[in-house]
Amino acid sequence: MISYKPFKKYVVCVGLAMAICTLSLPAFAQKTVTIREALDQALQNNLQVKQAMYQSSLSEQDVLQAKMDLFPSVSAGVQGAKNWGLSFDQTSAKLINTSITSVGGSISSNVVLFGGFQKVNQISINKYQLLSNQSNLDKIKNDLVLSVVTKYLEALSNKDVSVAAQQQVELSKAQLEAQQYNYDVGNKTLADLSQAKSQLATDELNLTTAQSAYDLSILDLKQLMEMDPSMDIVLEKPPLPNVTKLESSFIAGDVYQEAIKHYPDIKVAEYNTMVAKKNVDFSKGGYYPQLSVGAGYGTNYSSQAVDLITRMPLSFGKQLDQNKNTNIFAQLSIPIFDNYRRNIAVRKAKISYESALNDEQLAKNNLNKVINQAVLDLRTAEKRYYSTQENFKATSDAFEVLKQRYDVGLANAVELSTQQTAKNKAEFDFIQAKYDFIFKSKVIDFYLGKTITFNN
């Protein structure tokens, strides 16, 4: 009979070691990150999000500036001078060959009463540009959310694969110890022992590959969160939905009709089209005459000014009162010929509008294509989940049966190792298929405008 004492002893030791490691985990300075915290930190720190926010803030100021341009402009000025030698003093109206101190001040205002509605159209242009930039901010946030969720689930999947790979390594170590014992007492051949060593090496390679994939997904997640790569984090597994209750019978056309109502990429394209359309109206405004009116007030002082009767110098205050002048004006500017600039500007604006319409349709076509692909991917992920589930169950049962046959000498080590490898691969495939099915389901929720959660 084959003795299993070393195998049982090894299993007990492994169990104790795992228990001790579990109890000592709080001693490590690890930061636990939930998926909600990962999303919040990414949205708060991501540089692309910040850049889009700055652009949106600049657009708000452009709207304000366009509105303020409707009001009259007012400017004031004060000037002072000290002259020596021969000069003409306008205030005293005489030629003087001595030093003169002069001071003057003025204030003027100007407003465009009509300018081909260009200022009104500029307000509309800036408003639509603001809406476009705000939608672009939403687009960047949405893309970031999807990327974070993708990497988070990918990391969880790789972690589960690593755990499964570690369990297989521990099993292979126990089997190798049992084979070594039985080889030492003459119950097994060198071929059986070599096959056990080969199986352990294969499982250790699988573990290394799984751990490397997990580390890489964690690094990608940290980069999305703008987190220091050296920080040690552990992900908290959210309450994953019941896979058997996930909806997969979506109609691509219905999903598209719902997504097009709110999807930021479409909104950006639509607002850009509106901007281009208003630019056509703005350019056409250049054909119209421009009517503007204004008013001004000014006064000045000269140290050489005298009273015309008494010939006595005039005081500062009296000069400011006597020398004041007021004016009002109206100006009509009529465009006649400007080297065809206005015509070309209108033509270019029309071309830009046609281009914007084309971009809008292209965005809608791309969204339709992506949603159709997402619906197909979800159906494929569902089929893959159930097929890998059945395959894992079948290979696990086959491994248990073959192990029993091997224990009584009815199967060789090569057959056992081959079946164990098949079982390991089936388990890894099943874990990845489960997370892929969950993620593909959440992608559809994303296009439907639903908040990505894992509570149901």
Q: Residue 326: what residue type?
A: T
In angstroms, the CA 70 to CA 119 distance is: 7
Among 276, 309, 334, the domain boundary falls at: 334
Question: Which helix (DSSP H) or strand (DSSP E) does residue 77 occupy?
Answer: strand 73-83
Nearest to 7, CA basis, from 396, 398, 403, 393: 403
Phi, psi of 438 (to 5 degrees): -65, -45
pLDDT digit string, tens, across residues 399-449: 899 888 888 878 877 788 888 888 888 998 999 999 999 989 989 988 988
| Bridge partner residues of 78 (DSSP) | 105
276 and 398 housed in the same domain? yes
Angle ∠(242,248,253) on CA atoms, nearest 5? 150
Domain ranges, residue 97: 72-114+289-334
142 and 14 housed in the same domain? yes
174 and 307 housed in the same domain? no
437 and 322 housed in the same domain? no
In angstroms, the CA 241 to CA 244 distance is: 9
In angstroms, the CA 279 to CA 267 distance is: 18
Q: Can you point out the beta strands (E) in 284-349?
A: 290-302, 325-333
In the DSSP assignment, the letter for residue 72 is P
Q: Is residue 39 part of a domain?
A: yes
pLDDT digit string, tens, across residues 12-24: 343 433 443 443 4
pLDDT digit string, tens, across residues 162-217: 998 898 898 888 888 888 888 888 877 888 888 889 889 988 999 999 999 999 99
49 and 81 housed in the same domain? no
Among 334, 357, 388, the domain boundary falls at: 334
What CATH number is attached to the domain comprising 125?
1.20.1600.10
45 and 172 housed in the same domain? yes
CB 96 within 8 A of CB 87: yes
77 and 109 housed in the same domain? yes
In angstroms, the CA 416 to CA 411 distance is: 7
Q: What is the pLDDT of residue 65?
A: 95
| Bridge partner residues of 75 (DSSP) | 108
What's the structural domain count of the chain?
2
Average pLDDT of span 276-305: 91
What CA–CA distances, in Å, run from 152 to 22, 45, 90?
Answer: 23, 17, 80
11: confidence class by pLDDT, cuts 50, 70, 90: very low
64 and 77 housed in the same domain? no
3-state secondary structure of 396: helix
CB 218 within 8 A of CB 157: no
Q: Is residue 455 part of a domain?
A: no
Among 311, 334, 357, the domain boundary falls at: 334
401 and 279 housed in the same domain? yes
What CATH number is attached to the domain comprising 315?
2.20.200
Nearest to 379, CA basis, from 237, 249, 195, 232: 249
252 and 306 housed in the same domain? no
92: confidence class by pLDDT, cuts 50, 70, 90: low
Q: Can you point out the beta strands (E) in 86-228?
A: 86-89, 94-97, 100-114
419 and 388 housed in the same domain? yes
pLDDT digit string, tens, across residues 386-401: 999 999 999 999 989 9
264 and 156 housed in the same domain? yes
